Amino acid sequence: MLVKLNIAAEGIDMRLLGDLLATVPEGEVIQVRIGLHWTAVVTEVEGRQACGLSSTLESPHEHGGEPQVPQAGLLETLSGRELAELALEVDRPTLASIGVATINSLLPPPPPESWDEGNAEHVIAAHGAGKRVVIVGSFPFVPRLKSKVGELIVLDRHPREGDLPAEAAPQVVPDAEVIAITGMTLVNHTLEDLLKLCSPQALVILLGPSTPFSQVLFDYGVDMLCGSLVTDIEPVLSAVSQGANFRQVHHAGVRLVTVVRSGFGSRS
């Protein structure tokens, strides 16, 4: 491993990430792009190239300070699994972004017969009618949801007017009937603690391009994965490299896909 990781952070539970990494196949790293908003990694596994995405989390920057991406320019010399293990980094968030994008690139795509083409907004609206909904993360569709669900609470690390700070999660998540959590929580290592707060009777959704399509997340209590599959790699890489937001990346060549846990709906 060329990049020395700091994964020993007090209070951060890494079991979910460890279990997820244990399922990731080995592959060759083809390209790494770190954009203003999104990070993209292209890998090749058994002759199939795929591109995975993750939110780009900025690391503290000081001119003359220690580099936040120590192997910048050499990341493509790492193996796929080595690059994926960067997801465990706690002090340099940009490295964690690279790691999660690599996980999403290496994991096999869900079989098409398991896809639901509905996007996260439609899923939350359909299941949240008349119910208490908590969304962790800021999404552009939030204003449209307010009239479609019973009660809507938004938690965010950088709360806007009407939102609650992320620290309020222990007070509001346990009583939610529908919880939609941004996949970015996998990058910033808060997902596992949030899942522990969810009621066993609640519908739990993980959403956004950082979301891995993995059975491991179902094992940890997630019911629906609303993620993204890159269908046109080169246009997406160009968009990511040039600072595109997700709407632009989506138009460049991304398909929104929802996968539901087997047996969902049978839970009492």
Domain CATH for 117: 3.40.50.11590
CA distance 116 to 113: 8
Give the number of domains in the chain: 1
- What are 156's strand-pairing partners? 165
Confidence of residue 116 (pLDDT cuts 50, 70, 90): confident
Helices 233-241 and 246-253 cross at an angle (nearest 10°) of 160
Domain that holds residue 177: 113-230+256-260
CA distance 230 to 235: 10
Determine, yes or no, domain membership for 88. no
Determine, yes or no, domain membership for 186. yes
- pLDDT of 235-247, one tens digit each? 999 999 999 999 9
**What tokens appear for 111 in the block?**
């079989």
Contact 94, 30 (CB under 8 A): no
Residue 4 confidence (pLDDT) above 80: no
Contact 221, 199 (CB under 8 A): no
Confidence of residue 262 (pLDDT cuts 50, 70, 90): confident
Closest CA to 230 of 205, 215, 209: 209
The length of the chain is 268
Mean pLDDT across the chain: 92
Determine, yes or no, domain membership for 209. yes
22: Cα within 13 Å, side-chain hemisphere:
9
Determine, yes or no, domain membership for 210. yes
- pLDDT of 188-225, one tens digit each? 999 999 999 999 999 999 999 999 999 999 999 999 99
CA distance 241 to 94: 15
Determine, yes or no, domain membership for 132. yes
Determine, yes or no, domain membership for 4. no
Roughly how many angstroms between the first and final C-alpha of the chain, as a whole number? 46
Determine, yes or no, domain membership for 63. no
Q: Give the sheet arrangement for strand 38-45, strand by strand.
A: 28-34, 38-45, 48-55
CA distance 160 to 216: 32
For the entire predicted model, the pTM comes to 0.93
The dihedral built from the CA positions of residue 154, 207, 31 and 187, taken in this order, carries a sign that is: positive
Residue 130 confidence (pLDDT) above 70: yes
Determine, yes or no, domain membership for 196. yes
Which residues touch 74 (CB under 8 Å, ≥6 apart)?
2
